[in-house]
Amino acid sequence: MGLRGTAAIAGIAEWKPQRRPAGPHQFMLEQWADLARAALDDAGIDPREVDGICTSGLRESASFVPSTVAEYLGIPVNFAEFVDLGGATATGMVWRAAAAIELGAASVVLCVTPSMPAPPPPEDAVRAPASRYGASSDRWGSPQAEFDIPYGNVAQNAGYAMIAQRYAHQYGYDPRALAKIAVDQRTNAGAHPDAIFHGQPITIEDVLASPMIADPLHLLEIVMPASGGAAVVVASAEVARRGRNRPVWVSGFGEHLAFKTPTYAEDLLRTPIGPASRRAFEMAEAAPADVDMVSIYDCYTITVLMTLEDAGFCAPGEGARFVNEHDLTFRGDFPCNTHGGQLSFGQAGLAGGMSHVCDGARQIMRRAGEAQVRDCDTAFVSGNGGIMSEQVALVLRGD
C-alpha cells in the first residue's frame, strides 16, 4: 500500500534566510518563477518538462492560485495542488507530488514555497487584510475568533507552552535537555554557511538565561521568523535518473490531523506525528533504527523532543534522556537538523518547513559540505503545522 518509492526529489533550491532583506522585493509569483528555475537548474531538468505544481497561499491571489501560477510560469500542467498545512505544507507537497507521479498524473512536479517580502504597495493598492492574530482566524464564525482569541490564546507561543507544561506534568521536565536541542542545532548551523545564526555558537546556559517568554519556553527555544524561499523538484524515476543529483526517493509518507487548536486535542501528549510516522515507516518498509539522519520540524525545542518520542526514536517520556545520551550534531551518533534546524537556520514562512526537506535531500545527495553525514542513505523528515495540529512524516532514501 502507498508509495513504491519510484518518485524522487531531483533538485533543490534554497534562499539564505534573512532577518530584514534589503530590496528590491518581488511578488510571490516572481519568487515562484525564480525558485522554480533554480530548482530545475539544480536538477538538470528543462522547465518544459514540468507538468505538475504544488502551490500554497500567494499574497497576490486569494484563490485560483494554481492556475495563476501555471499562467504566470507559462507552464501547462496536468496536476495542480493547493496545500494549506502551515508548517507541514512543504512535506505535504512532496508526498502529493510523489503520489501524483506514481499514479501517472505527472512526471515532473514543482513544489515551491516563496517567503520574501513584496514590493511596497502604492497607497491605493488592494492588499490582503492582515490577520491580527497570526494563525488564528479572527473572522466571523471562526471557532478561534469566538472561543480562543478572546482569552488571549493567540499566536503560537502560548499553545506550545501549554503542551510543554502538560508534558512536564506527565513525564517531568529537564530544561537542560530541551536547551541542548537548541545548542546542538546551533553547532550544526556553524557548518552551514546559509544558516542565519552561522558563526554564533551558544551554550545550554545561554538558552536557560534567555528571557522566559511563556513558561516553560525560553527565547532561544523559539524559532525566529525570517524571509527566504525554497523549492524542490519531484520527478519520475526516468527523469530523476538522468538528472544531475543522486535521486532522493520518496519512500514513505504519513499525514495526520485532527484539530486546529490543541485545547480540543483528544490527548495533548500524543502528537499527530505518531500515526503519521508509523504509516511512513511502514510504507517505506523501514524502522526508526534504519535512519541515518533526521530533519525534525523545530518551531520549538519541545516539538523536537515530542517528535523523537512519537515517531519512535525513543519511548514516550524518554525524550530528555535520549537527547542527553546522544550527540545531535552532524558529527554525532544521531544527526538531527544538520542545517541548523529552523531555530538556527531561520524560519522563512512555509520555506521553513521546506528547509527540512532540503536538509534531508542534501544529505542523501551528499551535498551537505562540512555538515555531511557519512554514508547517508535514509532520512526521516517531519512537517508540523499550527500547534502540533497537522503533521506529516517522510522517509527519504538514496539508492
The contact set with other proteins (CB under 8 A) reads: 132-134, 138, 140-141, 143, 145-155, 157-158, 161-163, 165-166, 169, 211-215, 261-264, 268
The three three-digit cell numbers of residue 80, written as one number: 495542480
Cβ proximity to other proteins: between 209 and 287 the closer is: 209
Cβ proximity to other proteins: between 6 and 157 the closer is: 157
C-alpha distances out from residue 36 to 15, 47, 70, 356, 397, Å: 12, 8, 12, 18, 23
Smallest distance, Å, CB 220 to other proteins? 14
Smallest distance, Å, CB 377 to other proteins? 40
Cβ proximity to other proteins: between 121 and 141 the closer is: 141
Asked whether the beta carbons of 304 and 181 are under 8 A apart, the reply is: yes
Cβ proximity to other proteins: between 120 and 152 the closer is: 152
Smallest distance, Å, CB 167 to other proteins? 9
Cβ proximity to other proteins: between 67 and 137 the closer is: 137
Cβ proximity to other proteins: between 74 and 211 the closer is: 211
Smallest distance, Å, CB 149 to other proteins? 5
Smallest distance, Å, CB 158 to other proteins? 5
C-alpha distances out from residue 351 to 33, 195, 230, 281, Å: 15, 13, 5, 24
Single-letter amino acid, residue 340: G
Distance CA 319, CA 322 (A): 5
Smallest distance, Å, CB 301 to other proteins? 15
Distance CA 173, CA 393 (A): 26
